[in-house]
Structure 1
Amino acid sequence: MLSPRNRVSFELPLCAGILVASISLAVLAPTFATADDAAPAAETGQQASWEELVAAKKSAYARLEEIQKSFGTAQPEEQQKLRQEAGEMIANLRQNVFPKLRVQAPERLKSHPDDVDAAEIVLEISYSENSFAEAARVADMILEQDPTHQLAANLGGISHFAIHDFEGAATILEQARDNKVLVPQLSQVYLDNARKYQEYWQEEQAIRAKEAAATGNDQLPRVVFKTSRGDIEIELFEDDAPNTVANFISLVEKDFYDGIRFHRVIQGFMAQGGCPHSREGDPATPGTGGPGYTIDCEVYEEGARRHFAGSLSMAHAGRDSGGSQFFLTHLPTPHLNRDMNPNGAHTVFGRVVNGMDVVADLEVNDEILSATVTRKRDHEYKPETNPES
């Protein structure tokens, strides 16, 4: 898994071949300066030129690569010095280089479409912000010029996977493998599943078309989260996970989720919430609480849905231990499906139908201001529960 967006870490040694992507994601994890933030520097003539900023980035990356290569054989005292140097360099990149590149790169790419440096930076930024459609577009531009570009091949392949272009993902990642630029620690799971997901996506689209055609009491329930980032509308898969949906609706109608925060957000993976200990002022550890009972996993039932971008899925600490915690996925997550991970699968019980941009922007401590059932079927929603162990 990638590091949470709100917590930046740079730990050595890094896996061989993953250095550039790891540095980029570590540097880009914080919130970027906006154009308005950068304006005062421009007005006072203090803004560094594009060329100076790119040179600073390349110089830092080169030194970080040297640190990576020498770290494994260094003595403990020297390793500590290398860690400190790497940390200081990344801090400088975060504070003084990337915020300015973030402002300048999009315009630079517009005016210089063949500028690979600008394209790389836009790609890194888009990917780190879960803007996978833009990341895929820019990666395609880079790969058209250089099919062996490692960063573009890996982040581009994952980004195509994220936007449900599984054929495009397979093509890019297979070419990366053949060109020996695939980073297995980052991209292997997507390469392994891209072809399978083409079939899964066709099946999912057929199910969604049938659901969209339903009328009256056959329509699926919906819930709207009003969050501190914006609204998220979710359709619930009552036909496929009826007890999980009954539990969720029951909790929503009891105002259980009002005031609860997203306590765990991992860029390029998911945003998790639903723990009552995440409320402001609760002294207990966020992520350790529930509704006082558990429900059985329904992922092992026939017809269980798979994870795609925007899936609503049950969080748990082991089979049949879920209760109120859930997560919303940024992209398809094959490793959480039953066919890939039978002992660690999670029940998909809904999907985002509006507000996926809000899901992409969620950060730790963003709050669910209110949760409202906006549509449901004409029956009681009473889940079957188990005593909390």
Structure 2
Amino acid sequence: MITVFLTSTLKSDPLTAAENDERLEKCGRQFLPTGEDIKPDENDSMPAADSKSLWLFKVMNKNASDYTRDTYMSLGSVISKRHLITSSQTIIVQPDKHIQVLSWALDGTYVDTTCDERGNLAVPKKMAKNLNIMGVWCAKTEGKCKHKVFKVKKAWILNLCGRLRSYHKEASPLLLELKADDEEIKYPCLANDSTVLSGGEPLTAYELRYSKRKYTNPSFRDRQLTFDFYTHDKLFVVLNGKRPAYGDRGGPLIRNESGTARLVAINGDGPLPGDKAYFFDLKDMQEDLKKFAGIHNEFKGQPPSSTSTALPSTSTSSPTVPLPPVPSSPQPTASVVTKQTESARKEPDTATEVPRKEENDEDEESDDLFVSEEFLNESAANSLLILFVLSLLIQ
């Protein structure tokens, strides 16, 4: 028990800059299977796929109350070694769509909608820990099928309070922090400001597929959709295609960018009639993902050579570390240079020191008499002339 506690406390909080750099370097290298490749066998296993690394999961509420059984599960996508994004329908419900009151799926108690400035709500630990995350595929070992399972440490519902009126239509996204890092898992790259979809562009969506018994453990499928437009508030990516089944939310919308898998949106749709599907745009969540998860698209790392302290050039033309004004002064050592570059160093006052040196040079030039050696050696007459001039100066 002690080891588990220490692990869960150490493996928490947002990604560091170095961890996010690692995420940017590794993301997008693996696509999810499509079409015939995703059909499971009788054990829901997929021997042909590397189930340890596939990033699509089912998110379930372990003990949802009876009236929420239709929405107690959703698809979720791993977006880092420590985070997963899905739909909040697994954790809260809106019993009456005409009343802006939400309840926790676990026990039916009301949700205290005290959100931050962007409408995000921190989920109480009791509710977050009641979630189970299980891999869609399982790995067969000696005839047994074992699914990868994650436990949740923290959770946030994104943009909840700004959308209370329409929550019954499109449940807000749910960001989960896992208890432990998974170094094996693969994950997609995420949409950023440069991710702009064009009309008719093909995209791949994943959704739950319920059997005839509506609330039994569903399978899932992929759908090939085409982009139509962004909503005016930039919250949704709207696609051409029928709306998904009742209770099907949280699934990823994937774009193939020249061989890179990019998660551009997650399913937020409800069971409404129509031929348009609405997905939450990941670009709108960038600020929230950075705040809560340390996930962003700014690469902070630098090459190893740039982190070491290098000795400066001893040339006087160096603009960064100038030589001392006195020529006889020794060159700065490596430790001195390090201190100069790490802290603000006062530069010489060129308005006072440099002119003073020029004035001294002028005085020296007016008092000195320079005579070449060749002039003295030419003749005795020249020597007599010099003595005559010196006598005049002495007088």
The question of a shared fold, defined as TM-score above 0.5 by the shorter chain, is answered with no
Highest CA radius of gyration, 1 or 2?
2
Please give the TM-score of this superposition, normalised by the length of structure 1.
0.21
More strand by percentage:
2
